[in-house]
A and B are shown apart, each in its own frame.
Chain A
Amino acid sequence: MTTMSSAEPTRRDFLYIATGVVGAVGAAAAVWPLIAQMNPDASTIAAGAPIEVDLAPIAEGQVIKVVWRGNPIFISHRTQKEIEEARAVDVGSLPDPQSDQQRVKQGHDQWLVLVGICTHLGCVPLTRQGDYNGFFCPCHGSHYDTSGRIRRGPAPANLPLPPYEFVADSKIRIG
């Protein structure tokens, strides 16, 4: 549409490009809130605040589920046998190499705290099942061991650990 076809950029060319750029920035600024509104809202974030869990009532060999941020958190009071099983494996041979020590808090070896969401596509695994007596996801057959590490199946990673800390000897704060 420019009337001049000289090779030299003209003032009009400059104005076209400048207008286009301002228009694009404006459009991006307008789209931003439309996209950002889909992220978690303030109330959802507030409801995701830390929770405290008393571990005293959990018997050895028992696994309980608590809910944090809408997701199940597994708290497993592991038996000595389970801990030994978890530590007997050669870490290098694991699909997602991590030692059992890295997955528990020091001095609290019996307590395994996990996000109970299969790292494959998000199902909730069954506890104390599967080929490794840890967790088994029925959706597409992922087997996790007594440390919640992936051993077999389509899941790419170990069961994630939520952020948590011991506030007392038998009390944890998740979040």
Chain B
Amino acid sequence: MSGHSTYQPQSRFMQWFERRLPIVSFMHASFVAYPTPRNLNYWWTFGGILSLMLAIQIVTGIVLAMHYTPHVDHAFVSVETIMRDVNYGWLLRYLHANGASMFFLAAYIHMFRGMYYGSYKDPREVLWILGVILLFLMIATGFMGYVLPWGQMSFWAAKVITSLFGAIPVVGDSIVTWLWGGYSVGNPTLNRFYSLHYLLPFVIAGVVILHVWALHEVGQNNPTGVEPKSDKETVPFTPYATVKDSFLMVVFLILLAWFVFYLPNYLGHADNYIPANPLVTPAHIVPEWYYLPFYAILRAIPSKLGGVIALGASIVILAFLPWLDTSRVRSAAYRPLYRQFFWIFVLVCIGLGWLGAKPAEGGYVIAARFLTAWYFLHFLVILPILGLIEKPKPLPNSISEAVLREGVPIGAPAPAPSGTKH
């Protein structure tokens, strides 16, 4: 990873150690001396927040696993035991369940940040694609975790989502049986989901390392989208980024705590406190809020296979964003048209999320079709054309120039407080 280390081992032991495993200088180069653009705003703190959330999920998850029983006859009761009998079990479970929500919230903000500032463009394509892979892994992990408490929503989520694979022509049914390990969702299904739910977060951790590696290879983007030209335009990671990240982490944890302590079940579904019943489907099944936009896309298409393809395409298309956006200008700050379409796209995603929670009938279906069409048109038509017809605003020659224009003198002792300006 780039960033020259200024680390000099002091003690004889550390010198001895450094020659054998230079991990301390490596960490120093990556997280202390690492140069970050001086104009980063708070939208750049969500990567740190995501790492923190992953750590929280792993720690609370491992502890929950000490009390959880992955068996159809015991899973629901073991979760209730966690809630009522295990010391602080309620706290751990609420942290884990609401932590998953906050994890997705941070991921979505992080991705919209990337879209606004063009962080996926050359040379950050691989970095971006690793991010899309992380989103996919998070979706899989969260889904399998949600099945574990084995309530009604758990069971029917498992049923509906695994049935998606049944849409595949010819081999679909065999794949579904293989996924279930039986003729319906049952104990073998629960067992394997538990195994994978334990595994995937560590796969995520591995991909996060690749993601950060790619980031440190190409350097961070910044609100101007103009690469730093000299040392004067960067500040060392520590203390500048460390403090800024930590501050927003605390703010974010307050939000998590607010849900955990005041609204612990607000984001969940009451039906999941009813034990799973394979013979009765709840009248209104909806996924967790963070899957709603995708669910809306699935239901918008009036064909089973078509819906499944659209659902998959809505995620896969993100990986092609670096090539679908034909504009050479990164930051939306200098792209007057794109900036408007970006916000429309945000509203479309929120709209799809809202529709995903509504029953699939009447006007809701029509609206969902319209927004689904827009979602894909945004990537396939609007972005490629915008890059060709849009006249960007003049780019600053450097970060310093952009910062100076905002009236903050260069070389000021602290980094320019540009975060509040966006």
A residues near B (Cβ < 8 Å) are 35, 38-41, 44, 48, 65, 67, 69-72, 116, 119-124, 137-141, 154-156
Contacts and interface: CB of A to CB of B under 8 A. Distances in A.
Contacts of A121: 159-160, 163-164, 166, 304
A67 B177 CA distance: 17
A39 B188 CA distance: 9
Contacts of B299: 140, 154
Given A67-B279, A123-B160, 15 more contacts: A38-B192, A40-B188, A69-B184, A70-B278, A71-B183, A120-B163, A122-B162, A122-B166, A123-B285, A124-B281, A137-B281, A138-B284, A154-B303, A154-B304, A156-B305
A140 to B, nearest CB: 5
A14 B304 CA distance: 48
B182 A70 contact: yes
Contact of A156 (B162, B186, B279, B304): B304
A155 B304 contact: yes
Given A121-B163, A122-B160, A154-B302, A141 B181 contact: no
Interface residues of B, number: 35
Most buried by A among B184, B278, B303, B307: B184
Contacts of B185: 70
Contacts, number: 88
B171 interface: no
B360 interface: yes
B156 interface: yes
Contact of A40 (B182, B192, B281, B305): B182
A141 B184 contact: no
Contacts of A116: 279
Contacts of A156: 303-305
Contacts of B182: 40, 44, 69-70
A141 B360 contact: yes
Interface of B: 156, 159-160, 162-164, 166, 177-186, 188, 192, 278-281, 283-285, 299, 302-305, 307, 359-361
A140 B181 contact: no
A32 B368 CA distance: 42
Given A71-B183, A154-B304, A138 B156 contact: no
21 contacts: A35-B178, A38-B181, A39-B177, A39-B178, A40-B180, A65-B279, A67-B278, A69-B183, A70-B182, A70-B185, A71-B278, A121-B164, A122-B166, A123-B281, A138-B281, A138-B284, A139-B160, A139-B285, A154-B299, A154-B303, A155-B304
Contact of A154 (B177, B283, B307): B307
Nearest to B295: A140
Given A70-B278, A140-B299, A44 B307 contact: no
Given A67-B279, A154-B307, A141 B359 contact: yes
B285 A38 contact: no
A69 to B, nearest CB: 4
A124 B280 contact: yes
Given A70-B184, A70-B278, A138 B283 contact: yes
Contact of B183 (A44, A65, A140): A44
Contact of A38 (B164, B178, B305): B178
Given A38-B178, A139-B285, A123 B183 contact: no
A38 B179 CA distance: 7
A72 B283 CA distance: 17
Most buried by A among B156, B183, B284, B303: B183
A122 B163 contact: yes
Most buried by B among A120, A122, A141: A122
Contacts of B184: 69-71
Most buried by B among A38, A65, A154: A154
B188 to A, nearest CB: 7
B360 A120 contact: no
A69 B182 CA distance: 8
A40 B285 contact: no
Nearest to B161: A121
Contact of A123 (B156, B303, B304): B156
Nearest to B162: A122
Contacts of B307: 154
Contact of A48 (B156, B183, B359): B183
